[in-house]
Amino acid sequence: MPEFNLSDSIITSLNAQEPWPDNVKLYQPYEVEQILLPDNASCLAVQAFLKMCNLPFEVEMRWNAEFMSPSGRVPFIKCGAFVVSELEPIVQFAANKGVTLCAQLSTEEKAEMRAYMSLITNVLVNAELYISWLDNDTYNAVTRVRNSSVYPWPLGWLQTRQKRNAVAKRLKALHWHEKSLDQVLADVEQCCNSLSQRLGDKDFFFGTTPTELDALIFGHVFTIITTRLPCRRLAETVRRHETLVSLAKRIDERYFKRP
């Protein structure tokens, strides 16, 4: 363990001395035929964060992106000799290079921001996994088809079943597997209420400039309200919170420049 910590510290220090290169690649699954709701939300959140930081990157779509990722989750970036996956480690990686969105926040505000980010992970991410993998209509019509689309039969069937079991195991450990859809949506409603109240009528959660919290909520809200699924109740629940929807649309228009 001491050797690992020392090595990690040396790598971090060397990383901080190197500028952000122009050829950074962000790896994610194929958007059109493969990516699922939770992964799409995570990928959009990271893209939004990098755009907010004005850090150049190029999206590279790979069918096996999750297996290439060091954490087994998408997205991940390749920046020089470094491979970093998921939003929070990427935020820290950028901070080590002197690029941050929350330099103006106080210690208390940073703690509050992390608490809200944890709330999103504990509620919206779990709800997305629940809808995608445990709601039978969504699983049969969307998840099973898209997840297995990049594999030959019967590998696609086996891999999808294995992944469904893994998601079910995770949700059981978090006591989400036994919840009814109504209970899941009630948690989402409460989460969105808390976020809406914190955002209020501000442009972003902490004033006039975005933080990684804004990037994270954008990724999830925008993906939920724009993804067509047989179970529409999750999107309907989120759409009722106009302040969050407006934030997502504002970030999309400002940083992604889509019509």
Q: Which two tokens stand for residue 252?
A: 């999309």
Give, to the nearest 10 degrees, the angle between helix 181-199 and helix 107-120: 160
pTM across the whole model: 0.92
How much is the pLDDT for 4?
41
Q: Which two tokens stand for residue 139?
A: 């699983």
How much is the pLDDT for 14?
58
How much is the pLDDT for 257?
75
Helix/strand/coil for 59 = strand
How much is the pLDDT for 109?
97
How much is the pLDDT for 57?
97
Q: Which two tokens stand for residue 173?
A: 């450990």
Q: Residue 31: what are its φ and ψ, rounded to 5°? A: -75, -45
Rounded CA-CA distance 141/147 in Å is 11
Q: Which residue reads 């994270």 in tokens?
A: 216
Residues 6+ apart with CB under 8 A from 13: none
The residues that bridge with 211 in the sheet, in sequence order, are: none
What is the phi-psi region of residue 257: left when phi exceeds 0, alpha when psi lies from -120 to 50, beta otherwise?
left
Q: Kindly list the distances between the CA atom of residue 131 and the CA atoms of 31, 66, 115, 143, 206, in Å, as whole numbers in the listed order.
A: 19, 20, 24, 10, 31
Structural domains for the chain? 2-96 (3.40.30.10), 107-256 (1.20.1050.10)
How much is the pLDDT for 3?
43
Q: Which residue reads 């099973």 in tokens?
A: 144
Q: Which two tokens stand for residue 25?
A: 């690649």
CA torsion sign for 46, 57, 65, 133 is: positive
CA-atom Rg of the chain in angstroms: 19
CB 192, CB 99: distance < 8 Å: no
Residues 6+ apart with CB under 8 A from 182: none
How much is the pLDDT for 18?
81
The series of mean pLDDT values per 10 residues for the chain, 259 residues long, is 46 65 96 96 98 97 96 96 96 95 96 98 98 97 97 94 97 97 98 97 95 98 97 97 97 85
